[in-house]
């Protein structure tokens, strides 16, 4: 039976086969996220003050020991709650949102109570399948960091952009397991950063990850720009690029000629205010 189940993957390289079995094992274990809020910091902005809550997101039930760290303020949680109520009012009818105290009342007792309340709040939201898979919830956990990363990318700060993107991609991947193509823009932004930092091998590695998520999405706006970039990287690295070239020619034969942006042109357009 084992040999029969492996037959569809008989053409895989050793690396691909190892990755295949890692993914299979991950699917056999229940993967969850744990939310911790260990600390806060008070930020002065113009004439006002607000508290930033440090949120550590840990993955359990995985062979990887990844964690992500983000910061959010009360108004961010408040906005998330309003947005989710628009779509999930029935699911959230028994949920209570931490009440806002008087402006500027940042006693240690109140801050600690709020930390525990937000920790429970995130845990409850994540326990509801449709909410944790919703764009609104995922955006709350990733969008501010992605906006910062793309801003750095547009400004030519590729090292800083890459640092943020690599932090976010792990969390994005865990939150969007049912929609693998949704993280393609982030993977492609990582490709662009590595390429401009003259790390072609790393750029090619992340390009392969992006292409693997587009196998059944050849109409995706990133597909052709990514293929063209991968062909150039493969040529630079001395890798076989003929199969990539064949995919590109096959796509061109089926589609009417249209203007296609480069991968970098697409990336810098993401998260433009």
Q: Using pLDDT thresholds of 50, 70 and 90, give the confidence band for residue 210.
A: very high
List, for residues 102-112, the tens digit of each pLDDT value: 555 678 888 88
- pLDDT at position 35: 94
- pLDDT at position 27: 47
Q: What is the mean pLDDT of residues 52-58?
A: 93
Are 32-133 and 157-269 in the same CATH fold? no
Please tell me the distance from the alpha carbon of residue 1 to that of residue 191, in angstroms, as a whole number: 39
CB atoms within 10 A of CB 173: 19
Q: Given strand 67-73, what is the order of strands in its sheet?
A: 32-45, 48-60, 67-73
**Of 5 and 77, more confident:** 77
Q: Tell me which range, 19-33, 150-164, 244-258, is most confidently predicted by mean pLDDT.
A: 150-164
> Does position 254 have pLDDT exceeding 70, yes or no?
yes
pTM of the model: 0.82
CB 153 within 8 A of CB 197: no
Tokens 């931490």 locate to 98
Least confident span in 10-14, 38-42, 43-47, 192-196: 10-14
φ/ψ of residue 38, rounded to 5: -80, -25
User: Tokens for 272?
Assistant: 């433009």
- pLDDT at position 22: 57
Q: Collect all residues with Cβ–Cβ distance below 8 Å to 151 and sequence separation of at least 6.
A: 271
> Does position 14 have pLDDT exceeding 90, yes or no?
no
- pLDDT at position 59: 78
Please tell me the distance from the alpha carbon of residue 205 to that of residue 183, in angstroms, as a whole number: 15
Task: Answer left, alpha or beta for residue 9, where phi above 0 means left and psi between -120 and 50 means alpha.
Answer: alpha
Q: What is the mean pLDDT of residues 12-35?
A: 61
User: Tokens for 55?
Assistant: 């949120």
CATH class of the domain whose range is 157-269: mainly alpha
- pLDDT at position 66: 75
Superfamily for the 32-133 domain: Phox-like domain (3.30.1520.10)
Q: Tell me which range, 39-53, 186-200, 247-261, is most confidently predicted by mean pLDDT.
A: 186-200
148: buried, middle or exposed (CB in 10 Å: 19+, 13-18, 0-12)? middle
Q: What is the mean pLDDT of residues 211-236?
A: 94
> Can you give the residue ranges of every domain in the chain?
32-133, 157-269
Average pLDDT over the chain, rounded to whole? 85
Please tell me the distance from the alpha carbon of residue 182 to that of residue 233, in angstroms, as a whole number: 23
List, for residues 153-170, the tens digit of each pLDDT value: 999 999 999 999 999 998
């Amino acid at each position: 039976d084992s040999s029969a189940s492996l037959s569809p993957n008989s053409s895989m390289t050793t690396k691909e086969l190892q990755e295949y079995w890692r993914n299979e094992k991950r699917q056999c274990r229940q993967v969850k996220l744990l939310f911790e809020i260990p600390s806060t910091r008070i930020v002065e902005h113009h004439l006002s003050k607000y508290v930033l809550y440090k949120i550590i997101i840990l993955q359990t039930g995985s062979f990887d020991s990844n964690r992500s760290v983000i910061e959010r303020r009360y108004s961010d949680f408040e906005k998330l709650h309003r947005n989710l109520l628009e779509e999930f009012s029935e699911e959230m009818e028994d949920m209570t949102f931490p009440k806002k105290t008087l402006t500027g009342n940042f006693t240690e007792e109140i801050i600690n109570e709020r930390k525990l309340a937000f920790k429970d709040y995130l845990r409850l939201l994540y326990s509801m399948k449709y909410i944790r898979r919703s764009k609104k919830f995922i955006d709350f956990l990733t969008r501010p960091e992605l906006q910062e990363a793309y801003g750095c990318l547009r400004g030519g700060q590729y090292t800083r952009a890459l640092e943020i993107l690599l932090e976010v991609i792990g969390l994005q991947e865990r939150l969007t397991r049912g929609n693998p193509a949704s993280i393609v823009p982030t993977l492609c932004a990582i490709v662009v950063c590595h390429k401009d930092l003259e790390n072609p091998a790393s750029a090619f590695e992340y390009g392969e990850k992006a292409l693997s998520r587009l196998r059944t999405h050849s109409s995706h706006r990133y597909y052709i720009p990514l293929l063209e970039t991968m062909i150039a990287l493969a040529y630079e690295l001395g890798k076989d690029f003929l199969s990539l070239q064949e995919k590109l020619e096959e796509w061109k034969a089926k589609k009417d000629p249209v203007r296609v942006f480069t991968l970098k042109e697409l990336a810098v357009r993401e998260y433009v205010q």
